[in-house]
Chains A and B, each alone.
Chain A
Amino acid sequence: MERPAAEPGAQPRANGCSGAAHGALRNGYVRGLPAPDTQIHHIVHNGGLYKKPFNEAFEETPMLVAVLTYVGYGVLTLFGYLRDFLRQWKIEKCQNATEREEQKDFVPLYQDFENFYTRNLYMRIRDSWNRPICSVPGAKVDMMERVSHDYNWTFMYTGRVIKDIINMGSYNYLGFAQNTGACQEAAAKVLSQYGAGVCSTRQEMGNLDKHEELEKLIARFLGVESAMAYGMGFATNSMNIPALVGKGCLILSDELNHASLVLGARLSGATIRIFKHNNMQSLEKLLKDAIVHGQPRTRRPWKKILILVEGIYSMEGSIVRLPEVIALKKKYKSYLYLDEAHSIGALGPSGRGVVEYFGLNPEDVDVMMGTFTKSFGAAGGYIGGKKELIDYLRTYSHSAVYAASLSPPVVEQIITSMKCIMGEDGSTFGKECVQQLAENTRYFRRRLKEMGFIIYGNEDSPVVPLMLYMPAKIGAFGREMLKRNIGVVVVGFPATPIIESRARFCLSAAHTKEILDTSLC
């Protein structure tokens, strides 16, 4: 592959890497060098599946930056060992909480090594996370100020409130996190009528008429036969995957799937095989091998094969290649479980999710799962699909039998916001939100690219990860942005690979252009 010619006048990038550097090097582990502008993936033999260009870019880490990052972590680790040593010999005061005197001779609850990372690296930049807020998590938010006098071991609240911080961290894609308006009024009415809790499980005495109404609405929204709602998005995955597959089945899961999918797959007892992120060749190879060779050792055929993918991956900002996955699924007769936690409401011309974005038939996806926390401003999860599937889940899902059902005001919020998005409440507010979000996404990504940052992910995804790489930058970026009254989310190890720490922006329909411009400058 020829080296792309260096752009005339390529400016050094804002995070310290010069544009020419990554285009000019060829290292052993570089996958392929994209041109400085986005690479358009048109899969030649599947050209007919994509109706519009699918632009994803994952620029490779420049070599210099990778080395510096490792060096940074190495230095921190050394310091960590040194301080542990000092603490052990009581030269430095140990500020951790400690075990009770009476239980000192018990087997220690935590191994020293497990908490090494927490004690030494995480503690230094702990103030970037768990920031308490005291207002609606909308476009602007008020934060409680906290200071630490002992380098982040303990925090004290000064009592002052920092007002009007631009919120680029909450998952508020369509801007439904409001405390005024039709949704809130409806929820208030239901709260005064029904109360806050339910005190029973779905199968016993917890199935309210509101739940039935909600489920019919979800089925209509998604375009499936039937749907079922649960109290927590995380629990929806971890409690329903075990009900669908068991021993003797095969689960093919993406590399970067969310912890709830991984936990659900583990709890089910099925065999799990992982395919490379969004890589259809890897998936096809696994499918072929699985069907041809059967179960390991006994060679019996698999009972079922379930493919677990997400609509938008929250750490990468990439969108699943759904047309190809569905083609593969049909060819190899397996089942597809799509987790639309971030993509429902955020993608597609009318907010119906990644299926609508690609223009596909929702009946092709066997199990459509999603959550209400992100785009609908409520809490809980749902599963939609054919009627037999939902009937089975009503009977055998762990959540229906043992866990409390959704709280009524939350149900009302979901109903109102869903009707608003569908346009059934008579206004075009919903449609406008969806379009505003799409515009915001494109604008923000374009501007960030122009400024020279490395951005991951698909052009149309409202989750924008901005690469930082070095451990010191994680803390510094978070604090500097806060000084300028912008709240962002920074993530490092272990949620991301060790050299790929990033800051993540979550765009929202509630962000106006001025807000975006302020944050960009």
Chain B
Amino acid sequence: MAAAVGVGQQWVLVEMVQAFYEAPAYHLILEGILILWIIRLLFSKTYKLQERSDLTPKEKEELIEEWQPEPLVPPVSKDHPALNYNIVSGPPTHKITVNDKECINFASFNFLGLLDNEKVKNAAQASLKKYGVGTCGPRGFYGTFDVHLELEERLAKFMRTEEAIIYSYGFATIASAIPAYSKRGDIVFVDEAACFAIQKGLQASRSNIKLFKHNDMVDLERLLKEQESEDQKNPRKARVTRRFIVVEGLYMNTGDVCPLPELIKLKYKYKVRIFLEESLSFGVLGEHGRGITEHFGINIDDIDLISANMENSLASIGGFCCGRSFVIDHQRLSGQGYCFSASLPPLLAAAAIEALNIMEDNPDIFQTLQGKCKRIHRALQGISGLKLVGESFSPALHLQLEESCGSRENDVKLLKRVVDYCMNSGIALTQARYLEKEEKCLPPPSIRVVITVEQTEQELDKAASLIKEAAQSVLN
């Protein structure tokens, strides 16, 4: 058997050699040249298609030597208006000492006067004695204290939602909440006058941003309709693109409220979710201070997420988001400012709990505050040269120049003189500060007037007349 195979193999070989001899000469020569060419290609040096650089190392050294970077920061002139801060000695309460002058405070957002409240301070002291100051860890790693859990429960109960989540910094609250839900490819409709924290949250989320004119529901509906027609062209993509509307309850930049009932109608018509930012309206609007949903009488479950900071009415530090568990629980793993940052110091959480207690026990302070707001709103009408911007029940109003003097810088200087005049006569005011180059829609320069529950009627009248006087003397 093996011999037969061996013969068979030999026979194949013989055939091959014979074919070799019988082939025409040109065929053999062609094949020989081809083989030699392949061998040459295999052994020649390869080079990349895109030559990165033809620079020699010496030239690279020269380039490195020559390159001059810009200075790390451009120089700031000494009399830049934002460089010289007002120094407040002592607590920033109702009577405040600014730059060694005693004034009545019309500039801190201490709406309910809780900054100086004895009960709040005592609660914070008790917490300080028990826990010390800091928490030394993020919420995930032994930074969750029972005060945090209690505060979250209390806030959820107060706002009548299922769950609440606390952040340790007011700015970071909305700036971490938006990117947790809205990612690249999603669409967010946001009001032009939204505050800077919302803008940063939107920038971090990398979604498509569509701005609509301030409080203009017609403009918003137009944008929504455009989006709807886009969706019909590409229904597969539309099924996975999330949509959100981000509005503020009481706008910090203009003092208006958003028209929430119309927004709810638009929500159900176009299937968009609503995120509501209530930093100024929490603890101010509504019969019990629950914010703009109570003010308009809307079911709170209709709003997907309410976010607010505790630095205004609650006179503490930090912020919270509240809503249904389905929505809020997601932030516990994906809210950047929650997972990667230390938790709120317990003494501030205890102060916030006590402030909530006071708010629940005295619901008539909200009416008092609204009365004072209306009073000063009336009193500040008709000042020559300054116009009042804001709703009559808003505790944070703006006074803008009726006619601008040409450049923003000069406007700012003029308003500064008005503010200085008032400060010298015992009323502490401040200009509203913005980052001019970073804001999307920069509001005009203005003076902020803040009304708190602690200001008496005489003080309100005094402030109004003083502002009138200042406007007269400076602007005319």
B243 located at the interface, meaning its Cβ lies under 8 Å from any Cβ of chain A in the complex: yes
| Chain A residues within an 8 Å CB radius of B116 | 195
Decide: B133 and A388 in contact? CB cutoff 8 A: no
Contacts A97-B324, A172-B136, A187-B133: A204 and B204 contacting too (C-beta < 8 A)?
Answer: no
Decide: A107 and B243 in contact? CB cutoff 8 A: yes
| Chain B residues within an 8 Å CB radius of A102 | 268
| Chain A residues within an 8 Å CB radius of B140 | 129-130
Contacts A195-B91, A407-B345: A109 and B433 contacting too (C-beta < 8 A)?
Answer: no
Decide: B195 and A402 in contact? CB cutoff 8 A: yes
| Chain B residues within an 8 Å CB radius of A17 | none
A89 located at the interface, meaning its Cβ lies under 8 Å from any Cβ of chain B in the complex: no
> B115 touches which one: A99, A135, A197 (CB < 8 A)?
A197
Decide: B125 and A192 in contact? CB cutoff 8 A: yes
Q: Restricting to B131-149, which residues have a CB under 8 Å from any CB of A?
A: 131-137, 139-146, 148-149
A346 located at the interface, meaning its Cβ lies under 8 Å from any Cβ of chain B in the complex: no
Of the candidates B129, B137, B181, B243, the one having the most CB atoms from chain A within 10 angstroms of its own CB is B137
A111 located at the interface, meaning its Cβ lies under 8 Å from any Cβ of chain B in the complex: yes
| Chain A residues within an 8 Å CB radius of B108 | 198-200, 204-206
> A207 touches which one: B88, B115, B171, B432 (CB < 8 A)?
B88
Decide: B115 and A195 in contact? CB cutoff 8 A: yes
Decide: B315 and A196 in contact? CB cutoff 8 A: yes
Q: Restricting to A306-348, which residues have a CB under 8 Å from any CB of B?
A: 332-335
| Chain A residues within an 8 Å CB radius of B430 | 200, 204-205
Decide: A407 and B317 in contact? CB cutoff 8 A: yes
B416 located at the interface, meaning its Cβ lies under 8 Å from any Cβ of chain A in the complex: no
- Output the nearest chain A residue to B319 by Cβ-Cβ distance: A404
Contacts A372-B134, A378-B134, A394-B83: A97 and B326 contacting too (C-beta < 8 A)?
Answer: yes
| Chain A residues within an 8 Å CB radius of B210 | none
**1/0 per position for B355-379, CB-CB distance to A under 8 A?**
0000000000000000000000000
Q: How many residues of B contact A (CB 8 A)?
A: 120
Chain A's nearest CB lies how many Å from the CB of B354? 9
Decide: A379 and B342 in contact? CB cutoff 8 A: yes
Decide: A105 and B91 in contact? CB cutoff 8 A: no
| Chain B residues within an 8 Å CB radius of A208 | 87-90, 92
B50 located at the interface, meaning its Cβ lies under 8 Å from any Cβ of chain A in the complex: no
| Chain B residues within an 8 Å CB radius of A188 | 125, 128-129
Interface residue stretch chosen among A26-34, A74-82, A175-183: A175-183
- Output the nearest chain A residue to B137 by Cβ-Cβ distance: A170
Decide: B341 and A137 in contact? CB cutoff 8 A: no
B325 located at the interface, meaning its Cβ lies under 8 Å from any Cβ of chain A in the complex: yes
> B316 touches which one: A138, A177, A196 (CB < 8 A)?
A196
B340 located at the interface, meaning its Cβ lies under 8 Å from any Cβ of chain A in the complex: yes
Of the candidates A133, A196, A201, the one having the most CB atoms from chain B within 10 angstroms of its own CB is A196
| Chain A residues within an 8 Å CB radius of B336 | 234, 259-260, 263
Chain B's nearest CB lies how many Å from the CB of A207? 4
Q: How many residues of A contact B (CB 8 A)?
A: 120
B160 located at the interface, meaning its Cβ lies under 8 Å from any Cβ of chain A in the complex: no
Decide: A199 and B146 in contact? CB cutoff 8 A: no
B212 located at the interface, meaning its Cβ lies under 8 Å from any Cβ of chain A in the complex: no
B12 located at the interface, meaning its Cβ lies under 8 Å from any Cβ of chain A in the complex: no
A376 CA / B133 CA spacing, docked (Å): 10
**1/0 per position for A205-230, CB-CB distance to B under 8 A?**
11111001000000000000000000
B76 located at the interface, meaning its Cβ lies under 8 Å from any Cβ of chain A in the complex: yes
| Chain B residues within an 8 Å CB radius of A110 | 330
Contacts A106-B271, A260-B341, A401-B433: A169 and B132 contacting too (C-beta < 8 A)?
Answer: no
| Chain A residues within an 8 Å CB radius of B169 | 231-232, 234-235, 403-404
B170 located at the interface, meaning its Cβ lies under 8 Å from any Cβ of chain A in the complex: yes
Interface residue stretch chosen among A58-66, A286-294, A443-451: A286-294
A50 located at the interface, meaning its Cβ lies under 8 Å from any Cβ of chain B in the complex: no
A54 located at the interface, meaning its Cβ lies under 8 Å from any Cβ of chain B in the complex: no
**1/0 per position for B63-93, CB-CB distance to A under 8 A?**
1100111111111100010110111111111
**1/0 per position for B388-419, CB-CB distance to A under 8 A?**
00000000000000000000000000000000
Chain B's nearest CB lies how many Å from the CB of A216? 13
**1/0 per position for B176-200, CB-CB distance to A under 8 A?**
0000010000000000000111001
Q: Restricting to B157-175, which residues have a CB under 8 Å from any CB of A?
A: 168-172, 175
Q: Restricting to B318-339, which residues have a CB under 8 Å from any CB of A?
A: 324-327, 329-330, 332-333, 336-337, 339
Q: Restricting to A406-438, which residues have a CB under 8 Å from any CB of B?
A: 407-410, 413
A136 located at the interface, meaning its Cβ lies under 8 Å from any Cβ of chain B in the complex: yes
Contacts A171-B136, A234-B340: A292 and B64 contacting too (C-beta < 8 A)?
Answer: yes
Contacts A200-B108, A378-B345: A389 and B72 contacting too (C-beta < 8 A)?
Answer: yes
> B69 touches which one: A192, A304, A392, A409 (CB < 8 A)?
A304
Q: Restricting to A218-261, which residues have a CB under 8 Å from any CB of B?
A: 231-235, 238-239, 244, 258-260
Contacts A195-B120, A207-B86: A379 and B134 contacting too (C-beta < 8 A)?
Answer: yes
A465 CA / B327 CA spacing, docked (Å): 34
| Chain A residues within an 8 Å CB radius of B133 | 177, 183-184, 187, 377-379, 409-410, 413
- Output the nearest chain B residue to A336 by Cβ-Cβ distance: B72
Chain B's nearest CB lies how many Å from the CB of A277? 18
A399 located at the interface, meaning its Cβ lies under 8 Å from any Cβ of chain B in the complex: yes
| Chain A residues within an 8 Å CB radius of B438 | 398
| Chain B residues within an 8 Å CB radius of A135 | 130-131
A111 CA / B91 CA spacing, docked (Å): 48
Q: Restricting to B192-238, which residues have a CB under 8 Å from any CB of A?
A: 195-197, 200, 203-204, 238
| Chain B residues within an 8 Å CB radius of A357 | none
Contacts A133-B142, A233-B341: A263 and B136 contacting too (C-beta < 8 A)?
Answer: no
Decide: A209 and B348 in contact? CB cutoff 8 A: no
Chain A's nearest CB lies how many Å from the CB of B65? 9
Decide: B345 and A410 in contact? CB cutoff 8 A: yes
Decide: B85 and A398 in contact? CB cutoff 8 A: no
| Chain B residues within an 8 Å CB radius of A363 | none
> A388 touches which one: B75, B86, B136, B195 (CB < 8 A)?
B75
Chain A's nearest CB lies how many Å from the CB of B248? 14
A141 located at the interface, meaning its Cβ lies under 8 Å from any Cβ of chain B in the complex: yes
Contacts A132-B145, A192-B121, A378-B345: A199 and B137 contacting too (C-beta < 8 A)?
Answer: no
**1/0 per position for A369-408, CB-CB distance to B under 8 A?**
0011110111100000000110111111011111110011
A276 located at the interface, meaning its Cβ lies under 8 Å from any Cβ of chain B in the complex: no
Contacts A205-B98, A263-B204: A169 and B324 contacting too (C-beta < 8 A)?
Answer: no
Q: Restricting to B22-58, which residues have a CB under 8 Å from any CB of A?
A: 52-53, 55
A20 located at the interface, meaning its Cβ lies under 8 Å from any Cβ of chain B in the complex: no
Decide: B317 and A231 in contact? CB cutoff 8 A: yes
A122 CA / B109 CA spacing, docked (Å): 41
B288 located at the interface, meaning its Cβ lies under 8 Å from any Cβ of chain A in the complex: no
Chain B's nearest CB lies how many Å from the CB of A24? 37
Contacts A199-B315, A292-B64: A191 and B121 contacting too (C-beta < 8 A)?
Answer: yes
A489 located at the interface, meaning its Cβ lies under 8 Å from any Cβ of chain B in the complex: yes
Q: Restricting to A268-310, which residues have a CB under 8 Å from any CB of B?
A: 288, 291-293, 301-305
| Chain A residues within an 8 Å CB radius of B136 | 137, 170-172, 177, 373-374, 377
A203 located at the interface, meaning its Cβ lies under 8 Å from any Cβ of chain B in the complex: yes
- Output the nearest chain A residue to B340 by Cβ-Cβ distance: A259
| Chain A residues within an 8 Å CB radius of B55 | 292
| Chain B residues within an 8 Å CB radius of A111 | 240
Would you mind naming 19 contact pairs between A and B with Cβ atoms under 8 Å apart? A109-B330, A137-B132, A137-B142, A170-B136, A179-B128, A196-B115, A197-B317, A199-B312, A206-B88, A206-B92, A208-B87, A234-B169, A235-B169, A335-B69, A371-B342, A379-B342, A391-B76, A395-B76, A407-B316
Could you tell me which A residues sit within 8 Å of B by CB distance?
Answer: 96-100, 102-103, 105-111, 118, 122, 129-138, 141, 144, 167, 169-172, 176-179, 183-184, 187-188, 191-209, 212, 231-235, 238-239, 244, 258-260, 263, 266-267, 288, 291-293, 301-305, 332-335, 366-367, 371-374, 376-379, 388-389, 391-396, 398-404, 407-410, 413, 487, 489
Further 6 A-B residue pairs, CB within 8 A, beyond A208-B89, A263-B204: A135-B130, A209-B88, A234-B172, A292-B63, A303-B70, A407-B316
